[in-house]
């Protein structure tokens, strides 16, 4: 089975990762962890915009992916990490299609509603 786990670094994303660790996945299964760097909304000048993106790419995105890797470490499935720029919704669909994902695993952000 091929699974896609989009993450934004939130507690909800980490909850989805912990859910995956409860599944009986095998070394034949593949999990792709995806972090999308959205270049919207930036209401700053172009120079500040690119400096912000550089900071996210170099400092924040790797920490988010490392955190997810630590949560998923107990799984026997093959785990790969991917980071890209774009609109999260479109990027998730694109990666799901290109990776042949059978399932996209996300946790709903409105618990209790």
pLDDT tier, 37 (very low <50, low <70, confident <90, very high otherwise): confident
25 — pLDDT class (breaks 50, 70, 90): very high
Element (H, E) at 85: strand 78-85
pLDDT in the model for residue 4: 97
CA 57/CA 63 separation, integer angstroms: 10
Q: How many CB atoms lie within 10 A of CB 15?
A: 15
Residues 77-107 pLDDT 10s:
999 999 998 889 999 999 999 999 999 999 8
Within 23-81, where are the H helices?
46-55, 61-72
């Amino acid at each position: 089975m091929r699974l896609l786990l989009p993450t934004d670094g939130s507690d909800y994303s980490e909850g989805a990762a912990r859910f995956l660790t409860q599944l009986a996945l095998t070394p034949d299964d593949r999990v792709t962890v995806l972090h999308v760097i959205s270049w919207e909304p930036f209401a700053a000048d172009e120079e500040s915009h690119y400096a912000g993106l550089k900071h996210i790419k170099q400092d924040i995105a790797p920490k988010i992916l490392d955190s997810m890797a630590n949560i998923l470490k107990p799984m026997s499935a093959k785990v790969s990490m991917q980071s890209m720029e774009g609109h999260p919704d479109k990027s998730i669909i694109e990666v799901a299609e290109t990776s042949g994902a059978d399932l996209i695993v996300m946790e709903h952000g409105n618990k209790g509603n």
